[in-house]
Structure 1
Amino acid sequence: MIVDSLQNAAKYYSLHPNFQKAFDYVNQNDIANLEEGAFEIGEGLKLIVIIGQGNTKEEAVKGFECHDKNIDIQISIKGPETFAWKPREKCINPNGDYSDERDVRFFHDAPDTFFQLQEKQFAILFPEDVHTAMIGEGLLKKIVIKVKI
């Protein structure tokens, strides 16, 4: 997992061939005014704009998840937004089977830690990062860029 500010995104371009394309899209568009929904923004890149009321920690951990085929770049647009995290190798209580169609595996495990993103900060969550988000008060807005591995 990586947590940083958008102004430092270039430091991570070498980690995946599509990271620069993802952050270029963010820098070249008015992300604060993107409409809710899912959009293909390039080969192996999908942008999801999420707007919703923040959840409690207890409610959010019901969606404690990880992915096998994608890396998430999650960017806070309107927050602050709290995330829960735990390394996948420590998760031992699956919540159902892996969904290949949705590329998601859920867990009943309790998070090891919580962290917060402020506006224009991001988290890069790899397949080994079990996570959940949208924890907070009031209206939250974020983008998630799915980067195909």
Structure 2
Amino acid sequence: MILDKIENANLYRGVHPGIAKALDYITSVDFANLPMGKHEIEGEALFVILKENPTNPIADQLLESHLKYIDVQYVVQGIEKMGVTINAGQKPKKAYDDTDDYMLFEEPYDIITVKAGMFAIFFPDDIHMPDLTTGEPSLVKKAVFKVRIQ
């Protein structure tokens, strides 16, 4: 997992070509004028979902992970917490769904805070729980990039 502010994007461009393209997109697009929803950048190899939704209370939430895609989550407006832990061979509570590329876990986790202008990168071994409230639910606008691994 990588957590940083967008001003430091250059540090991570060499990690994966798709991550570099996602970070370039973040720094070149005016999210205020981009409609909500899915936007293809390179077909299914790289796309972004722009969404605006309230954060969720931590209770009853499950962690997720993906096998086909790396997540690059950029907070455009607002602030949210995210749960994170490493996949060390834990068994998922909900088995992998190949169509939607996710599995769900119920595991102990740490909490990070992601503010506007920050991004988090989650690799397949990073089990994560985004969209969590920092207290009372609040509205967060976020760009979620899906970077195909292969």
Structure 1 residue runs of 4 or more that deviate by more than 3 Å after TM superposition: none
Tell me the TM-score normalised to structure 1 length.
0.91
Q: Aligned partners of 2:127 and 2:33: how far apart in 1?
A: 29
How many residues end up aligned between the 2 structures?
145
Which residue, 80, 98, 101 being the options, matches 1:100? 98
How many percent identity over aligned positions?
34
Structure 2: state its 5+ residue gaps: none
Point out the structure with the larger helix share: 1
1:38-57 alignment runs, 5 A limit: 38-43=38-43, 44-57=45-58
1:1-149 alignment runs, 5 A limit: 1-43=1-43, 44-59=45-60, 61-62=61-62, 64-89=63-88, 91-92=90-91, 94-111=92-109, 113-136=110-133, 137-149=137-149
How much is the aligned-residue C-alpha RMSD, in angstroms?
Answer: 1.4
Structure 1: state its 5+ residue gaps: none
Q: Aligned partners of 1:106 and 1:76: how far apart in 2?
A: 23
Tell me the TM-score normalised to structure 2 length.
0.90
**Does the residue aligned with 2:17 lie in a helix, a strand or coil?**
coil
Point out the structure with the larger strand share: 2
**Alpha-carbon distance, 1:129 to partner:** 0.3
Q: Aligned partners of 2:103 and 2:142: how far apart in 1?
A: 21
